[in-house]
Amino acid sequence: MSRIYPKTPSPSSPSYITSKPESFTIWMKSLVFNTRGCTVYNSKGEIVYRVDNYDNKGGQEVYLMDIQGKVLYSLLQKKFSLFGCWDGYKWDDHSSEKQVWFRVRKNRNISVSLCDGCTYQIVRMDGRLGFKIVDEDEEGALVAEIKQKQTATGIHFGDDVFTLTIQPHIDHSLIMAIVMVYGLINNQI
């Protein structure tokens, strides 16, 4: 039986790691009518990621997808955790199983434990609309920063539009998944 939308191999798979800092615009709105989520644009204005939460706000499981709708990560809230706990599962085309790739725990701080043993910390900046992700293993080296998007003259686009800057040699999709968990923790998605 053929598929309605057959999956054809792309000539080159998208690279989620670059050798220079990358900037993205995050709009905390879904492109799907009557759902919660967000849409992510690269510096060229192209949609690169999307999150659609078909459940209620702050749903139990949310998916980070690329523009073709391929699931990159599923984000699952642990139900019986005293404090907030989310697992990020990386989806692999070559395996039917999803793999736990990171865990986010919220106590006093928000920490991210990666499957390779690294630990990131989410550090809030002034107010609730911005934060940094730093690498605890590299003495707090900056990994990514998100802040409210503004024009060159300093006019803000609104509380639901952000600029995300990711440092070189960091997996953009992983950082996007961590940013989405932060949005879920704060009931923004």
Q: Which CATH number does the domain housing residue 87 bear?
A: 2.40.160.200
Is the per-residue pLDDT at 54 higher than 50? yes
> Mean pLDDT lowest for which of 13-17, 22-26, 37-41, 85-89?
13-17
Indicate whether 104 belongs to any domain. yes
Task: Indicate the average pLDDT of the chain.
Answer: 83
pLDDT of residue 20: 95
Distance of alpha carbon 62 from alpha carbon 155, whole angstroms: 32
What's the mean pLDDT in 21-38? Answer: 83
Q: Of all helices (H) and strands (E), which one includes residue 183?
A: helix 172-185
pLDDT of residue 57: 55
Indicate whether 125 belongs to any domain. yes
The candidate with the shortest Cα–Cα distance to 131, out of 140, 122, 139, is 122
- The Cα-based distances of 105 to 78, 83, 128, 132, 178 in angstroms read 10, 7, 18, 16, 11
Indicate whether 4 belongs to any domain. no
pLDDT of residue 5: 36
Q: Which amino acid is at 119?
A: T
Q: 3-class DSSP state for residue 87?
A: strand
pLDDT of residue 59: 60
Q: Which amino acid is at 33?
A: F
pLDDT tens digits, 139-181: 999 999 999 998 889 888 888 899 999 999 999 999 999 999 9
Indicate whether 8 belongs to any domain. no
Given a contact cutoff of 8 angstroms between Cβ atoms, the answer to whether 58 and 80 are in contact is no
pLDDT of residue 60: 76
Indicate whether 15 belongs to any domain. no
Please tell me which residue, 125 or 56, carries the higher pLDDT value.
Answer: 125
28 pLDDT band, cuts 50/70/90, is: confident
Phi-psi region at 154: left, alpha or beta (left = phi > 0; alpha = psi -120 to 50): left
Given a contact cutoff of 8 angstroms between Cβ atoms, the answer to whether 76 and 84 are in contact is no
Indicate whether 141 belongs to any domain. yes
pLDDT of residue 36: 75
16 pLDDT band, cuts 50/70/90, is: confident
Indicate whether 42 belongs to any domain. yes
Indicate whether 11 belongs to any domain. no
pLDDT of residue 186: 81
Domain that residue 136 falls in: 20-186
Distance of alpha carbon 33 from alpha carbon 157, whole angstroms: 21
What's the mean pLDDT in 66-95? Answer: 84
- The Cα-based distances of 99 to 2, 66, 73 in angstroms read 28, 18, 9
Given a contact cutoff of 8 angstroms between Cβ atoms, the answer to whether 57 and 186 are in contact is no
pLDDT of residue 103: 95
Number of structural domains the chain divides into = 1
